[in-house]
Homo-oligomer: A and B are copies of this chain.
Amino acid sequence: MRLLEERIRKDGIVKSGNVLKVDSFLNHQMDVTLFNEMGKEFKRLFADRPVNKILTIEASGIGIACIVAQHFNVPVVFAKKTQSINIDGEVYTSRIESFTHKRSYDVIVSKKYISKDDRILIIDDFLANGCAVNGLIEMIQSAGATVEGVGIAIEKGQQSGGKLLRDQGIRVASLAIIDSINDETGEIGFKEY
């Protein structure tokens, strides 16, 4: 998606070790006008899929997922990072290894909010090694529900998460796929999506 690629080139900050920071518009400060354009594009890309629910993971997936959900006219469920006294009854659990934070954590979704008839689009801000998305897929499969696809804002094309998902036959649409990051010049290369 040209608009997102341009925004990443303009406002993304490249740090040593292939780290791309987009916290001025995507995952700390959030540009909801951009999110709305992303929502339109996800709707176009998944127009043939009978999505009835969007699943994301806290925290930075939630904003994008909510704006995207308006284009599908469906509710959003977000996987929570810790057991809360506000959730009772049974939950689906998955253990996720965070590339960004270099640690593991458990996420949960109440069983009330994924059922076998659900046809789910997963939305997240980043796809790197795919651990978060795989955790969400596991929970959807535990519920006997259907994964209609995965919509990602920024995929790190040099990492294997996207390939592994596509190899399983899952439709993954990433609006910007990073091909190369040069942390000396700050240049960012994109793949066609």
Number of interface residues of A (CB under 8 A): 43
Output the nearest chain B residue to A79 by Cβ-Cβ distance.
B28
Which residues on A are within 8 Å of B, measured CB to CB? 15, 19, 21, 23-25, 27-33, 35-36, 58-59, 62-63, 65-67, 69-70, 73, 75-78, 80-81, 84-88, 100-102, 109-110, 112-113
Count of chain copies: 2
Known: A21-B86, A101-B84. A32 touches B75 (CB 8 A): yes
List B contacts of A24 (CB < 8 A): 112-113
Contact A27 B86 (CB under 8 A): yes
Output the nearest chain B residue to A100 by Cβ-Cβ distance.
B86
Q: Tell me the bound Cα distance from A174 to B31 in angstroms.
A: 25
Contact B30 A75 (CB under 8 A): yes
Distance between A20 CB and nearest chain B CB, rounded to angstroms: 10
Output the nearest chain B residue to A13 by Cβ-Cβ distance.
B88
Q: Tell me the bound Cα distance from A77 to B63 in angstroms.
A: 10
Q: Tell me the bound Cα distance from A87 to B19 in angstroms.
A: 11
Output the nearest chain B residue to A32 by Cβ-Cβ distance.
B69
Residue from the list B29, B32, B36, B78 in contact with A28, Cβ < 8 A: B78
Contact B28 A80 (CB under 8 A): yes
Q: Tell me the bound Cα distance from A66 to B68 in angstroms.
A: 11
Could you list 14 A-B pairs, sorted by A, with CB under 8 Å?
Answer: A24-B113, A28-B86, A28-B110, A28-B113, A29-B77, A30-B66, A30-B75, A32-B70, A59-B59, A63-B63, A63-B76, A67-B70, A84-B101, A86-B100
